Amino acid sequence: MKDSMDRFGDRVDSYKKYRPMYPIETVEFIRDKCRVEESWQVADVGSGTGISSSALLKTFGCHVWAVEPNKNMREEAENILSVDPGFHSIDGSAESTGLENGSVNMVTAFQAFHWFDKNKTKNEFRRILKEPHWIVLVWNDRRSCGTVFLEEYEDILRSIPEYLESRHRNVNIGDIYGFMSTAELIYAEFRNLQKLDLEGLKGRFFSSSYTPAQGTEGYRIQLIKLAGLFEKTNINGFIEFLYDTRVFLGRMNGISN
């Protein structure tokens, strides 16, 4: 099993092209509920190829510190976002961000919280946060039932041992309450849709770290399965992924600064 910092190193191009975006309503909801100001400093932890950082920069208009341990993904974000003066790229992780004490008003984690060492990360976030101590956790939760495509796609994934292992990382509400050490948690969800042709379906599938690497026999087998599923379920040359984009907002308690 790859270390979480290295899992996506060979998936950067597919991740950038084929991972779902976040509905604009999601980031606007965060901005409005947290009353984000342009003077704020935001740490986007586990920022990957910059999908979330880009959305934050456009909607918040403040400085975003993109913290990413994977070199390939971090450099991809830098290639895209370095022209924005509010973007700052940091070689760091959730457990060791490299940011200064009490330097950020908000920490966000999009599609990344399940990889963190929760105890070490809690201490790190407490160290770097200042008023108003917001933590924002967001992820696109792919639906696995409701259409023939979604159900049979899930069946394909379940044939992969590493996928079954990754499911053990699913986060529950108790994990989030415990992490933030708060009794007040704001939750919202938004519907998200991704429409893909056959090449997009392949790219989306192989953007996941638990799928077989290109050039392997497992890769060839999965390509055959995906082509068959697409042929069976596409409508006018496209299939649809449905997601629930889940948003958790809370202020981390127990911070002295």
**pLDDT tens track for 58-112:** 999 999 999 999 999 999 999 999 999 999 999 999 999 999 999 999 999 999 9
**Is the pLDDT assigned to residue 224 strictly greater than 70?**
yes
3 within some domain: no
Give the CA distances from residue 103 to residues 8, 26, 123, in Å, rounded to whole numbers and listed in that order.
28, 25, 14
**Residue 139 has which token pair?**
């992820």
Domain that holds residue 103: 12-251
254 Cβ contact list (under 8 Å, min separation 6): 126, 181
Contact between 94 and 109 under an 8 Å Cβ cutoff? The reply is yes
**Residue 15 has which token pair?**
């991740």
Q: Is the pLDDT higher at 75 or at 7?
A: 75
**What secondary structure, in 3-state letters, does 51-78 show?**
HHHHHHHHHHCCEEEEECCCHHHHHHHH
Per-residue pLDDT averaged across 215-243, rounded? Answer: 97
Give the CA distances from residue 143 to residues 7, 9, 194, in Å, rounded to whole numbers and listed in that order.
23, 26, 12
Summary mean pLDDT of the chain: 91
Q: How many domains does the chain have?
A: 1
Give the CA distances from residue 17 to residues 14, 21, 200, 220, in Å, rounded to whole numbers and listed in that order.
5, 10, 8, 21
Closest CA to 45 of 100, 87, 95: 95
257 within some domain: no
256 within some domain: no
Burial (CB count within 10 angstroms: exposed 0-12, middle 13-18, buried 19+), residue 213: exposed
Least confident of 92-101, 113-122, 125-134, 176-185: 176-185
5 within some domain: no
Model pLDDT for residues 125-171, shown as the tens digit of each residue: 999 999 999 999 999 999 999 999 999 999 999 999 888 776 545 67
Return the CATH number at 182. 3.40.50.150
